[in-house]
Structure 1
Amino acid sequence: MAIEQYGRITEENMYSQRIHMNDDAELYNSANDVTRRDAIQLLEEYSSKLKFKVRNPRVIDVGSADGSVTKILSKYLPEKYKILVGSDINKKSIEFANKTYGDNRLKFIPLNIEGNLPDNLRDAFDNTFSFYTFQWVRNQEKAFTNIYNMLSKNGECFVMFLGYSHIYTLFYALSKSPKWRSLLKDFDTFASPFWNYRDPEKELNKILKSIGFNEIEVKCKQMVYDYKSLDAIKALVTAINPFVIPEDIWPEFLDDFVKVTQDMKLIDEQTGAVKINYNLLVVHCFK
């Protein structure tokens, strides 16, 4: 299959009613250090377990956003991989990624992983990856079914995404305040479906088995990231914020976000660093 054929995605597939991350790809690129750090850490940890075809593996990264993590992924592929496709629901992200990272073997295409899977993507890949995307997915079964259908026989799936996070707790607290309640009314469609699960691994295993995946391994990893300053955490919140908050009151929202962060004692009073605890759900399985 020629690289151009991976780009034939219908408009119907692109859009759904779910809430989306801020579409400023350049801003996200400057603020997503934690995503890049964790992707590298997990790829290093699982590198000996990942199974690629000896010749010309075809690989897709689902939810490639700005493309920086997809570029990192390319360094962990066999030298003679055939194609690496990054995919995202956001057109601006696709344009940014193709311009910044695209080359003759790396292409970015529009794709809604919860939509109807285009015929040209069925059985089209030997390995599927996804980093920090499935926390945005409401219909987990549909998304993992699409991944299953994209894979060739014995194809491999590797997905990591947020379960619990202090970030969700902070937004949740603000969503309950009279001041911000109306603007954050869609909090439940912003937080990871597993953010308050006691045993998310069990639920994910159930979904994956029902679809037909084999050799399923699901882990919940406790993680910590130290944002060096309040400006750094503000930049992150701005980059991922999906809510429609008027620009003229956005600084006020950030100030209140910081106040809640202080109330939760997440800020180091001496250095100003912000310690965010979170859980990463890591899925590794095969078709």
Structure 2
Amino acid sequence: MSLTMGKTLRAVSALGAAAAIAGTMGVSQPANAGWCNTNGCTLTLTGHITVRNNWWGVASTGASGWQDVWTNGSANWGSDFSWNAGNNQYGVKTFADTHDGWAWGGFNGSPFPQQINWGGSSWIKSTANNYWCNGTQDTIWDCFYSYSSNPGSSNPNTELEVWLTASINPSGWIYNTTVDGVFYNVYYQHGNWDILAYVPSYASSRTVNIYDISKDACNHGRMSTNEYLLNIDFGPEIYQGSGSMNCGQFYAP
């Protein structure tokens, strides 16, 4: 099961029915770069962090198109894509992402799980710089939490999204908050598990301390300090359109 299969925090597109935006399609690939263009293919970014080409929503929305992912060294990765809307212009087609941690069945040798009440550390910080993307999309850090330190193939208790940039708006606003000097609107929905989205003013670069945001959610009664952080994923969810994304500097635990 895809990490994003249960995602229900979706909203009305700010761009409307004509949302497909033409973008720069090509990214020059150095000879030593990793590259793949099939659903489910993976590349190693560094150590236990992988880049996944995940087309989880294509079949269910009847969409057609293509997408690749590539790596260039230990911090630079990206994706080129072109997808039509299929039968659902607001349905996510793909989530090409960096993955570190749990994935419905086990861990990949990462430093996870970590309990929220453990106290936090710099290893929970994640940085994404020099990001750009065209098309209808949201770009997020996507994290799952469970009361179990190893939920195996069971569903998580909570999903926490921290948005970097988007061409859509979420729904289900519940409160405003400030974490590490950044102002967030926070949104909530419940599907197979609780889903929280922390949405700041959009930017092309940000360092996010997942521990601090997790504690903020606990302070607002939306999470428990007894929950374990299971993973940190980062990437663009593509709804429709053509374009490219180049994450110039990505760092995670």
TM-score (norm 1): 0.28
**Structure possessing the higher radius of gyration over alpha carbons:** 1
TM-score (norm 2): 0.31
